Chain A
Amino acid sequence: MTSRRSLRTTVAAYIFLAPAILGLLFLTVLPIFGVAGISLTHWSGLEAPSWAGFDNFKTIFTSDMFFGPSVKATLFFAFGSVVFGTVYAFAVAMLLDQKVPARGLFRSIFFLPYIVPSIGTAVVWGWMYESNFGVFNYFLNLIGMDKVKWLGDDLTATPALVVMTIWGVGNFIVIFLAGLQGVPRTYLEAVEIDGGNAWHKFRHVTLPLMSPVIFFNVLMSVIANLQVFVPAYSITRGGPDNTTLYMVYLMFRESFQRNNFGLVAAYSLVFFTAVGALTALLFGFSKSWTFFEGE
């Protein structure tokens, strides 16, 4: 620990950091101001923007036909994907943590969907959900149920896309599995000696020790799933009945396809603030249930 502060070191440090600082400036800080600025204008992107004051925000919260349904759809999708995705990933990791043959192979099998191009996932699942010839409806028929218009029905469209998303949580499975393998066996054995059962072991050893990992995964999952885009863009186009009109898809559609840049900047700002608030809330809430050893 002999590193001394010196002018030379400082200069070197800022040279090494120059690309990252430029990135922070041009890809994060300035764009946030840019979004705020553009949100106060009417701008088709073709001619010069004209001053709009808070018109865009007024529109969003009063007369916008798409904003409300989009918020609802996005929250519904993100909530389902985060909650069920986390539970599923944790459950699979718990299973793989037992004495299972060919664990490495299974780990690969569960991980692979995570790195499949999201368009590929959408195309394949779109085909499996197809209502006349799709394989899912065939399975339904096999157990004596009627066909369902998975992606064409406003009740099932988002849940169907949630299931598709859960298929791709292999990264969380791998993270959970690594975490579980770090849970000391002696703690689990101590519970056994005290006469505890599997539930006690889970509730009083595994869960508290895993809580920081769970928090990390939930946080990453919330941020990723609120920004869902590909399924809406490539399969449902926001339909049926705007039930899959997820925010990023709406932003893409209204800006690059319909040239309402001012309005979309306002969407972006509201979205950015909401995600920030939600993240802060998660952090605040986490203090009450995550457990760090040594605290």
Chain B
Amino acid sequence: MKTHNRSNIAVTAAVIVLGFLSVFPFLWMLRSSLMSNLEIYQYPPLMLPKTPRFDNYVYALTAFPFGRYLLNTLTITIPSVFGVLLTSTMAAYAFARLDFPGRKPLFALVIASMLMPGAATIIPIFKGWTLLGLSNGYIPLIVPAFLGGGAFNIFLCRQFLMTIPRDLDEAAIIDGAGNIRVLFQVLLPLIKPVLISIGLFTFILYWNDVLGPLIYISRNEQNTISQALANFRAGYGTDYKSIMAACCMAVAPVVGLYLVGQRYFIEGIVLSGMKS
């Protein structure tokens, strides 16, 4: 019993130490964003600013118009989340509920495409959009979301649908419902948890994307938050208080979203790992 207690104390201590290391970068970012550059460039470093300078944020906003970037990012993110949810659910429904020739090979192809490194096909896709005259703007970033919503999401949603008994859709079919009604009226409410998870992770994915905007968005006033932060860092090399303030602004929405949708984030992650 005694060794048990001792090992529990050791475990708790280890968790606290590692946990502190894990939050430390957040704390350091926040601390640096509230200092003057004079304080930032002191050695040995100050742990806390003498007086927190919230006007760093006001100053950063003049060169880093967060509102505009936020709007730009949402312009890409919101339609994309919708597209992913709509088209991945449709595909998942076909795979989970309908019997048709070609189902197995098609599903195998979807699974295989999950393992494909997306970076390998950037150039032909870019050239395709150039051919269509659309390579500069939001369209190449949004449209792919409406084309199946990603193999992983189809897979996840299909797995979830498989766990729902067919009695419900069969009852609806007997009542004369077609596939659209079965999916959108009967099943959709039942798979809400997985849809929320997919939605949240898609949001994060698009929010955090760097390479896509870098390739398809060239005008500064169309930049996304991530892209703008990268440019801001490159352009303000040593003005770390402003860089850190901008960085806090870029990180805050994601942290906020996590706090609101915590449960679905964790469930979604668990689902993706366990259903494999």
List the B side residues contacting A109 at CB < 8 Å: 19, 22-23
Can you name the residue of chain A whose Cβ is closest to the Cβ of B31? A135
> In the complex where A34-B128, A38-B127 touch, is A175 in contact with B270 (Cβ < 8 A)?
yes
Whether B210 is near chain A, meaning CB under 8 Å from some CB there, is yes
A229 touches B119 (CB 8 A): yes
B43 touches A133 (CB 8 A): yes
Whether A217 is near chain B, meaning CB under 8 Å from some CB there, is yes
Surface stretch bound by A, among B53-61, B74-82, B92-100: B92-100
A115 touches B254 (CB 8 A): yes
Total number of B residues with any Cβ neighbor in A under 8 Å: 93
Whether A66 is near chain B, meaning CB under 8 Å from some CB there, is no
Whether A1 is near chain B, meaning CB under 8 Å from some CB there, is yes
Instruction: A290 to B85: give the CA distance in the assembly, Å.
Output: 33
A279 touches B94 (CB 8 A): no
A174 touches B266 (CB 8 A): yes
Within 8 A of B (CB), among A214-252: 216-217, 219, 223, 226-227, 229-230, 233-234, 247-248, 251-252
A14 touches B273 (CB 8 A): no
B276 touches A216 (CB 8 A): yes
Can you name the residue of chain B whose Cβ is closest to the Cβ of A271? B120
With a 10 A CB-CB cut-off, give which of A5, A22, A92, A124 has the most chain B CB atoms.
A124
List the B side residues contacting A20 at CB < 8 Å: 87-88, 90-91, 110, 147-149, 154
Contact partner of A2 (CB less than 8 A), chosen from B154, B170, B183, B266, is B170
Surface stretch bound by B, among A56-64, A79-87, A95-103, A151-159: A95-103
Mask, B113-144, CB within 8 Å of A = 1, is 10111111111110110000000000000001
B273 touches A178 (CB 8 A): yes
Whether B190 is near chain A, meaning CB under 8 Å from some CB there, is no
List the B side residues contacting A178 at CB < 8 Å: 270, 273-274
B233 touches A115 (CB 8 A): no
B113 touches A24 (CB 8 A): yes
> In the complex where A27-B144, A95-B15, A108-B262 touch, is A223 in contact with B250 (Cβ < 8 A)?
no
Whether B8 is near chain A, meaning CB under 8 Å from some CB there, is yes
Instruction: A243 to B163: give the CA distance in the assembly, Å.
Output: 48
Within 8 A of B (CB), among A1-34: 1-5, 9-10, 12-14, 16-17, 19-24, 26-28, 30-34
* Contact-residue size bin, chain A (C-beta under 8 Å from the other chain): 35 or more
Whether B208 is near chain A, meaning CB under 8 Å from some CB there, is yes
Name the distance in Å between B186's Cβ and chain A's nearest Cβ. 15
B276 touches A117 (CB 8 A): no
> In the complex where A35-B123, A108-B262, A133-B41 touch, is A179 in contact with B274 (Cβ < 8 A)?
yes
Contact partner of A233 (CB less than 8 A), chosen from B230, B247, B262, is B230
Whether B68 is near chain A, meaning CB under 8 Å from some CB there, is no
Can you name the residue of chain A whose Cβ is closest to the Cβ of B204? A115
A3 touches B99 (CB 8 A): yes
Whether A44 is near chain B, meaning CB under 8 Å from some CB there, is no
Name the distance in Å between B141's Cβ and chain A's nearest Cβ. 13
> Dominant SS at the B interface?
helix
A31 touches B124 (CB 8 A): yes
> In the complex where A27-B147, A35-B121, A133-B43 touch, is A118 in contact with B270 (Cβ < 8 A)?
no
Mask, B170-206, CB within 8 Å of A = 1, is 1000000011000100000000000000000000100
B94 touches A16 (CB 8 A): yes
Whether A125 is near chain B, meaning CB under 8 Å from some CB there, is yes
List the B side residues contacting A179 at CB < 8 Å: 273-274
Contact partner of A167 (CB less than 8 A), chosen from B25, B93, B117, is B25
B254 touches A23 (CB 8 A): no
List the A side residues contacting B22 at CB < 8 Å: 109-110, 112-113, 167
List the B side residues contacting A217 at CB < 8 Å: 273
Name the distance in Å between B37's Cβ and chain A's nearest Cβ. 10
List the B side residues contacting A99 at CB < 8 Å: 8, 11
Name the distance in Å between A292's Cβ and chain B's nearest Cβ. 11
List the A side residues contacting B14 at CB < 8 Å: 95
A13 touches B100 (CB 8 A): yes
14 contacts between A and B (CB under 8 A): A2-B170, A12-B179, A14-B94, A19-B91, A22-B147, A23-B148, A34-B124, A113-B25, A119-B230, A127-B32, A174-B266, A174-B273, A217-B273, A251-B123
| Chain B residues proximal to chain A, CB less than 8 Å | 8, 11-12, 14-15, 18-19, 22-23, 25-26, 28-29, 32, 40-45, 87-88, 90-91, 93-95, 97-101, 103, 106, 109-110, 113, 115-125, 127-128, 144, 146-149, 154, 166, 170, 178-179, 183, 204, 207-208, 210-211, 214-215, 225-227, 229-230, 233-234, 240, 243-244, 247, 250-251, 254-255, 258, 262, 265-266, 269-270, 272-274, 276
Q: 8 nearest interchain CB pairs? A: A34-B124, A23-B147, A20-B148, A175-B273, A31-B121, A23-B148, A272-B120, A20-B91
